[in-house]
Amino acid sequence: MVLLEKTVDVSRVVQFEEWEKLAKENIDHNAFTYIQSGAGREETLRSNEEDFRKIKLIPRYLKDVSNVCLKTNILGETLPYPFMIAPVGMQGIAHRDGELATARAANALKVPFIASTVTTYSLEEIAAELPDTIKWFQLYWSGDWEITASFLHRAEKAGYSAIVVTVDTPLLGWREKDLTNGYSPLKVGKGAGNYFSDPVFLQRLKRSPQEDSTAAAEEMIKLVLEPKLTWDDIRFIREYTSLPIIIKGILHPEDAKQALNYGVDGIVVSNHGGRQLDGAISSIEALPAIVEEIQNKIPVLLDSGIRSGADAVKALTLGADAVCLGRPFVYGLAAAGQEGVSQVLQNFIQDLKVTKSLT
Ligand SMILES: Cc1cc2nc3c(=O)[nH]c(=O)nc-3n(C[C@H](O)[C@H](O)[C@H](O)COP(=O)(O)O)c2cc1C
């Protein structure tokens, strides 16, 4: 795989579509397709954006907007803006500095960062780039509890302040374009940062990743996703971490109720950016019934389809406490590394400020 990484002047790039175009021009075709595409016929991928367009804001005026505050409080921590960086794995396919570049940009702007399990760099390396902002760790809990426990222990030690458990991925979605391209970043070792640095995982290998990277990657792939997990397994995570637990991937109000029953500390309404169940409801359409079920008992975040300040304000107006930004920052990363992510985040913050002031 070749990362072209041309130097692009992004100081005037504003629109999502332009970032997408630059990303497409700048990186390997299969890597770009992996980031952009969704599962199946991409119905959910499209609904995620289209359903935001169906919701209209009705502004109120003459209420002094000279000092609009965007701060929000989640699980005892103050976020400067009501959004976070969504967990996105394998950022090394977008730029050689991967998550480190994204983390540097987020840290400089104090935007909270959620690190994926399947990162190109290790959770400790990423945490080192995030001294000044909130950081959460997203867990793909494996059937191998010792490795899961090791990840939880490492995340806590590295200073992550919450665990985001992604539940919509008991197995990988049917991603037709990646199947056509025969492309899997996990197979080429781009998501191995946490595994190849884990003492428990390394003990499982006959030969080290340096000696046999293909065998190590194969061993890792067996561990990333686990179809057997059920709600009762949340108890295991509770046993191994004292950090708050947030469930990511809730779309049904009954699952929101289950989250409350199991005592989790927050949820993310998400369909994984249309990458898992094609035909699934868009996150923004799912939100109101879930907010109704949760009744402000725990924080509700939302992702999938957030492209602008107006999208975020619509989600907040419908009851989300915060949103997570996904593909927009990944395109910034692919277009221009840290600078690209920084530009995407700065634009998003300004857009949020303007939109909040005008509603
Ligand atoms: C390339 C890519 C990789 C992703 N990797 C992960 C991951 O490792 N863990 C996870 O929970 N979600 C992952 N997601 C889903 C995001 O966290 C988020 O739910 C999604 O990007 C939201 O959709 P949007 O980007 O269209 O707004 C990934 C998304 C993309 C595009």
Amino acid identity of residue 259, one-letter, is A
Model confidence at 4: pLDDT above 80: no
Mean pLDDT on 336-359: 98
Mean pLDDT (whole number) for 227-252: 96
pLDDT of residue 7: 62
The pLDDT of residue 142: 85
* Residue that wins the pLDDT comparison between 9 and 342: 342
Which pLDDT does position 207 carry in this prediction?
Answer: 96
Summarised one tens digit per residue, pLDDT across range 165-188 is 999 999 999 999 999 999 999 988
On whether 74 is known to bind a ligand per the annotation, the reply is: no
In the predicted model, is pLDDT for residue 3 greater than 80?
A: no
Q: What is the pLDDT of residue 101?
A: 98
Domains and CATH numbers, the chain: 16-57+71-358 (3.20.20.70)
Which pLDDT score, from 0 to 100, does residue 5 have?
54
Task: Give the Cα separation of 303 and 48 in Å (integer).
Answer: 9
Whole-number Å distance, alpha carbon 87 to ligand 1 midpoint, is 6
Stretch (H or E) spanning 17:
helix 16-26
Residue 355 has pLDDT above 70, yes or no: yes
pLDDT at 1: 47
* Residue 138 labelled as part of a binding site: yes
Average pLDDT, the chain: 96
At residue 121, the 3 state secondary structure works out as: coil
* Ligand 1 atom closest to residue 93's alpha carbon, by position in its atom list: 1
Atom number, ligand 1, closest to the C-alpha of residue 328: 25
CB atoms within 10 A of CB 273: 25
DSSP class per residue in 251-299:
-SHHHHHHHHHTT-SEEEE--GGGTSSTTPPPHHHHHHHHHHHHTTSS-
Checking phi first, is residue 189 left (phi over 0); if not, alpha (psi -120 to 50) or beta?
A: left
Inter-residue contact 139 to 237 (CB < 8 Å): yes
Which DSSP symbol is given to 43?
Answer: H
In tens, the pLDDT along 255-310 reads 999 999 999 999 999 999 999 999 999 999 999 999 999 999 999 999 999 999 99
State pLDDT tens for residues 15-45.
999 999 999 999 999 999 999 999 999 999 9
Measured by CA distance, the residue closest to atom 13 of ligand 1 is 88
Span from the CA of 70 to the centroid of ligand 1 (angstroms): 24
pLDDT per residue as tens digits for the range 213-227 = 999 999 999 999 999
Burial class (CB within 10 angstroms; exposed 0-12, middle 13-18, buried 19+) of 24: middle
CA distances from 35 to 23, 118, 187 (A): 10, 14, 16
Indicate the top mutation candidate among 36, 88, 302, 324 to test ligand 1's pocket, ranked by most ligand atoms within 8 A of CB: 88
Q: Is the CB of 191 under 6 A from ligand 1?
A: no
- In the chain, the amino acid numbered 316 is L
What local confidence, expressed as pLDDT, does residue 189 receive? 86
Supply the residue whose CA is at minimum distance from atom 3 of ligand 1.
Answer: 88
Average pLDDT (184-205) is 95
The rounded distance, in Å, linking the Cα atoms of 176 and 42 is: 9
273 lines ligand 1 (CB under 6 A): yes
Residue 326 near ligand 1, beta carbon < 6 Å: yes
Going by pLDDT thresholds of 50, 70 and 90, the confidence category of residue 52 is very high
Residue labelled with tokens 């399947």: 118
Which amino acid, 249?
Answer: G
Interior/surface letters 69-101, b for 16+ CB within 10 angstroms, e for the rest: eeebebbeeebbbbbbbbbbbbbbbbbebbbbb
Decide whether any atom of ligand 1 lies within 6 Å of the 344 Cβ: no
Given a contact cutoff of 8 angstroms between Cβ atoms, the answer to whether 270 and 168 are in contact is yes
| Ligand 1 in reach of 40 Cβ (< 6 A) | no
- Between CA 20 and CA 351 the distance in angstroms is 18
Q: Are 338 and 113 in contact (CB under 8 A)?
A: no
